[in-house]
Amino acid sequence: MQTTSSGIPSDPQQPDAAPPSAAGPPSGPAPGGKRRRSLPWALIAGWVLLLLVAVPFAGKLEGVKRDTAIDYLPAGADSTQVARLQERLPGGDTIDLVLVYHRDGGLTDADRKAAGGKVAEVAGRHDIVGGQAPRAIPSKDGTTLMYPMALTGVTDEKERADAVKDVRAELASHPEGLSVQVGGPGALSADSQEVFASTDGTLMFATAGVVALLLIITYRSPLLWLVPLGVVGAAAMAAMAIVYGLVQGFDLVVTSMSSSVIGVLFRGYPRLQPGEETKLLRSRAGKAGSPPGRSGVHRIPADIRYSHAS
C-alpha cells in the first residue's frame, strides 16, 4: 500500500480519472429551442385570428347604443319613473322643434308665402301633434317668423336625430337673403349627439398621435413604436366585441358615454419595465445624450417615462 505525502494511504485499486473528452459540445439545437422560437409566432397568429373574429362584432357596437334620458339615470330615481311615464303618455315621444325664418331689414310677402308653404310640406311628410301645420309667430320688428312644431311617433334616438336632419334638408331651399334655422329641444339633442361623436374621433386620433410621438422619442426607432400601439388597438377591438356580446346576451345598456370609456381606458403610454428598456436600448449605449447608467445604457428621462397619458 502506498502513502501520500500527507501520510494518507492511497488505494491502488482506484482507477485514474478519465481524461476530459476531446469532443466539443453536442451539436444540434438545444432541447426546447424550436418550441421557444415558435411560441411568438403562435401568439401573433392567435391575435390575428382573434382580430378577424372581433372586428366585425366591434363595429356593430355603435348600432346597439342607447342614449335616451332613462339610460343615463338610476333605475330607482324619481326622474327615471317620470321619464318612463312620459313615454307612455300621448305626446311623450315628441320631437319639439322651432322653425325660424329671418331676413335683415324685414320679411317680404314672398318670404311669408314661401315660409308657410315649406312648413306645410314638412307637416304633411311627418306626424305632427295636432295634425295641422303650426301657425306662425311673428316678431315685433317684422324680421322673423317662428313656427313651433312637435313631431311624434319616433322613439328611437337615432331615428329622432334623422328626423331632425330630414326637416333641415326639406327647408334647405328658400329665397335668396332669407335665412332658415331649425332649433328647439329636439334639434339641440341631435346637434349634441353629432358634436359628441365627432369630438370622440378627434380625441382618439389626437391622443394616438401624441402617444406615437412619445414612443418614437423614447425608443428612437422608426418601427418599434408600432408594436405597443398595435397591441392597444387589438385589445380595444377585443373589448368592444366582448361588450357587444354582453349587450346581445344579457341586454346590457351601453350609451355613447360608456362606450367611449373603452377607448379612454386603452389610450395611454405603454410603458416598459426597466429591464425591458435596458434590453431595447443596450445597442444604443455610448451615443450622445443623457449620462449612461451603471450598465452603460442611456436612461430615459423621467418626464417622458410614465405609464398613462392624462
The string of pLDDT tens digits covering residues 285-305 is 544 444 444 444 444 444 444
pLDDT digits (tens, 9 = 90+) for 206-250: 888 888 898 899 888 888 888 888 888 888 889 999 999 999 999
The predicted structure's pLDDT at residue 117: 93
pLDDT in the model for residue 29 = 56
Question: What average pLDDT score do residues 8-27 get?
Answer: 52
DSSP string, the chain: --B-TTSPBP-TTSPPPPPPP---SPPSPPTTHHHHHHHHHHHHHHHHHHHHHHHHHHHGGGGG---STGGGS-TT-HHHHHHHHHHHSTTTT-EEEEEEEE-TT---HHHHHHHHHHHHHHHHHS-BTTSSPPPPEE-TTSSEEEEEEEE-S--SHHHHHHHHHHHHHHT----TT-EEEEESHHHHHHHHHHHHHHHHHHHHHHHHHHHHHHHHHHH--TTTTHHHHHHHHHHHHHHHHHHHHHHHHH-----HHHHHHHHHHH-S--PPPHHHHHHHHGGGTTSSSSPB-TTSPBPPPTTT--S---
Beta pairing partners, 180:
101
C-alpha to C-alpha distance for 289 and 300, rounded to whole angstroms: 10
What pLDDT was estimated at residue 130? 82
**Residue 31 binned pLDDT confidence (cut-offs 50, 70, 90):** low
Q: What is the pLDDT of residue 120?
A: 93
pLDDT band at 146 (very low <50, low <70, confident <90, very high): very high
Rounded Cα distance between 64 and 252, Å, is 10
Using pLDDT thresholds of 50, 70 and 90, give the confidence band for residue 131: confident
Q: Are 308 and 269 in contact (CB under 8 A)?
A: yes
| Domain ranges across the chain | 90-183
Interval 34-53 mean pLDDT? 86
Exposure b/e, 9-38, CB count within 10 A at least 16 = b: eeeeeeeeeeeeeeeeeeeeeeeeeeeeee
Q: Which of 82-96, 107-121, 157-171, 184-198 has the lowest mean pLDDT?
A: 82-96
Is pLDDT of 4 > 70?
no
User: What pLDDT score was predicted for residue 25?
Assistant: 54
Which option is the CATH number for 90-183: 3.30.70.1150, 3.20.20.140, 3.40.50.970, 3.40.50.40?
A: 3.30.70.1150
pLDDT at 301: 46
pLDDT reading at 155 higher than 60:
yes
At 207 the pLDDT is: 81
Residues 201-206, mean pLDDT to the nearest whole number: 78
Q: For 133-146, what is the mean pLDDT? A: 94
pLDDT at 33: 66
Query: Which residues are CB-contacts of 104 (< 8 A; sequence separation ≥ 6)?
Result: 143, 177
Q: What is the pLDDT of residue 290?
A: 46
Quick one: pLDDT at residue 306? 41
The pLDDT value recorded for residue 19 is 54
Answer for the pair 166, 157: CB distance below 8 angstroms, yes or no: no
How would DSSP label each residue in 259-296? HHHHHHHH-S--PPPHHHHHHHHGGGTTSSSSPB-TTS
Question: Stretch 107-124: mean pLDDT, rounded?
Answer: 93
Read off the C-alpha cell for 303: 418626464
Cell of 154: 319616433
What pLDDT was estimated at residue 252?
A: 86
CA distance 9 to 2: 6
- Select, from the ranges 52-56, 97-101, 205-209, the one with the highest average predicted confidence (pLDDT): 97-101
